[in-house]
Amino acid sequence: MSKRFRLLVGIATLIPAFTLLAQDMPSNPDRNSYLAAEKYAITHFDPSQSDSFPYPVPRGTFKVDLKHEKRIVAGPVNIMTLASTSPSYMWGVSSEGVTYIDVSNGGFREVARMTAPGQKVISAQLHDKVLGQNFTSAAQVQKAVTDIYGLDWTRAVNGVYSVADKNNHVYYNTADGSLTKFGLVDEKNPSAGIKVIKTIDMRPVIGPDARLVGTGITYDGKLVVASNFTVSVLDRSLEGVPQTLRLAPGEVVTNSFAIDDRNGIYIASNKLMHKLVWTGKKLSDDPADGAWSSPYETGDEPPTIKLGNGTGSTPTLMGSGKDQDKLVVITDGANQMHLVAFWRDEIPAGWKAPAGAMSNRIAGQIAVTAGLKPLPKFVQSEQSVVVSGYGAFVVNNISESGEKDKLVDVLALGPVNRPGHGAERFEWDPNAHRWHSVWARGDVISVSMVPSVSSASGIVFVNGYYQNSGWELTGLDWNTGKTVHRVEFGKGNLGNGAYAIIQYAPNGDLIFNSVGGPIRVPLKHPAKT
């Protein structure tokens, strides 16, 4: 057992980059048969946390009034519209609870709803009262959140990392440390409703002050749950005794984890990048089982959006199968961040880490400028690295000032407070084993949504607010950085994705996970420009 973790026992109450040559293109990660679908069954889309989806998206400019589109009222904060086991339905996961949505034939119709245990229901009228305002000051936003919504920042963490399994069950976290398993009352008749199958209190394991920050499923079907201070493996029934490893004092995790097809679990604290291994019998941090830990550079906590002084990224896997390089990538916590790649498995014989690297485990690191000149004090991201092939995309989320309450912060950025600017695309060279920058855009704004990429169309997407035009979804060509796709929402607050992830349906429709509920937007007729 390493010094960084200790095993908790006896708790019986709980539980493609297109410019590369074909031979250099990493293959897609193997599908996990225990997930509800290959894509969208887990936050960040797949076990590698790639934020990459295979559906084509049309190019052009589209003007949309979200108030007139098909919307499921929920939130505030609607992290993702999760895949179910049926292509005709999806799970809507929000800070309030879950909905079951009929998405067949281009539709978007709620058929069932269940509020998470202990959570407050926000009516459509309350959402309209808050989101219908023209925000002009942070005090106004604070009043809307506390007096009208009656909420604080803790609401925003509910369901932030959920997962749907092959039995069409959804695992959902709440800020109080509970873990809930939802399912349909009748799989053959979804309109019969949603039920709570089981809820367990994780606080005896994670501690009274911890929050659950990640869920996932191993390739042999076990549930993995992470908190700020622990990683646990337990049966998906939520019965029995979980196996739990605790981080060393001073280490804090604020994001989820990736899982490879050999059940390596990649999770980053504010100090160290860790690989743990589920052997099929035990959760291990033993190097003999392939586990490792590596330091990386950290800095100061920024004034807005991002949490903590370490990485803001959920680790993302790059390379699989027989690929030459198998990596796990994050942005580090340096005030002016780097894109960092770690060797996932054995470090190549004779390897010498690049200059400035804090560990020989680091395969490569490169400074991120995000196209900003001069560089501001903070170039930092709260988002995972978007990966397609050996390509990687990162954004700068940090503005000069923000609000302490993260729910107030994310509503004020754009309309009230100036958001951060900048994005950059990188490529990993598997022959030279190093990064290079492909392009950067200092003018692009990504407020808080997780970017994503259409591997079919070669477009990467961000959600930002611009003073003249308001909220929009911006699509950038993966190879050139040129703007090739815009969905203009205007200045209404429904255009704010608020920490959620950007999704498109198999037919190219936008599934916009708005702060006021997920909305399906057909993109059929580009506006004339």
Does 22 score more than 60 pLDDT?
no
196-252 pLDDT, tens digit each: 999 999 999 999 999 999 999 999 999 999 999 999 999 999 999 899 999 999 999
386-411 pLDDT, tens digit each: 999 999 999 999 988 889 888 999 99
For all residues of the chain together, what is the average pLDDT? 93
511/500 Cα distance (integer angstroms): 11
24 in any annotated domain: no
- The pLDDT value recorded for residue 250 is 95
Could you give the strand order of the β-sheet that contains 60-63, starting from the edge strand earlier in sequence?
A: 52-53, 452-454, 459-466, 470-477, 483-490, 60-63
- The pLDDT value recorded for residue 131 is 97
> Which bin fits 202, alpha (ψ -120 to 50), beta or left (φ > 0)?
alpha
Give the number of domains in the chain: 1
If you write DSSP's letter for every residue of 117-166 in order, what string do you get?
Answer: TTPPP--HHHHHHHHTS----HHHHHHIIIIII---GGGGGTTSS-EEBT
DSSP reduced 3-state for 380 = coil
528 in any annotated domain: no
List Cβ neighbours of 3 (8 Å cut-off, separation of 6 or more).
Answer: 248
257 in any annotated domain: yes
Q: How confident is the model at residue 528 (pLDDT cuts 50, 70, 90)?
A: low
Kindly state the average pLDDT of the residues 495-521: 97
20 in any annotated domain: no
Q: What is the span of the domain harbouring residue 328?
A: 6-15+32-521
527 in any annotated domain: no
- The pLDDT value recorded for residue 3 is 45
**Nearest of 332, 372, 374, 373 to residue 356 by alpha carbon:** 332
User: What is the percent of the chain with per-residue pLDDT over 70, rounded to a whole number?
Assistant: 95
Geometric angle at alpha carbon 164, from 279 and 344, rounded to 5°: 40
21 in any annotated domain: no
470-495 pLDDT, tens digit each: 999 999 999 999 999 999 999 999 99
- The pLDDT value recorded for residue 323 is 73
User: What is the percent of the chain with per-residue pLDDT over 90, rounded to a whole number?
Assistant: 87
CATH code, domain with 407: 2.130.10.10
1 in any annotated domain: no
- The pLDDT value recorded for residue 404 is 84
Q: What is the pTM of this model?
A: 0.94
473 in any annotated domain: yes
409-457 pLDDT, tens digit each: 999 999 999 999 999 999 999 999 999 999 999 999 999 999 999 999 9
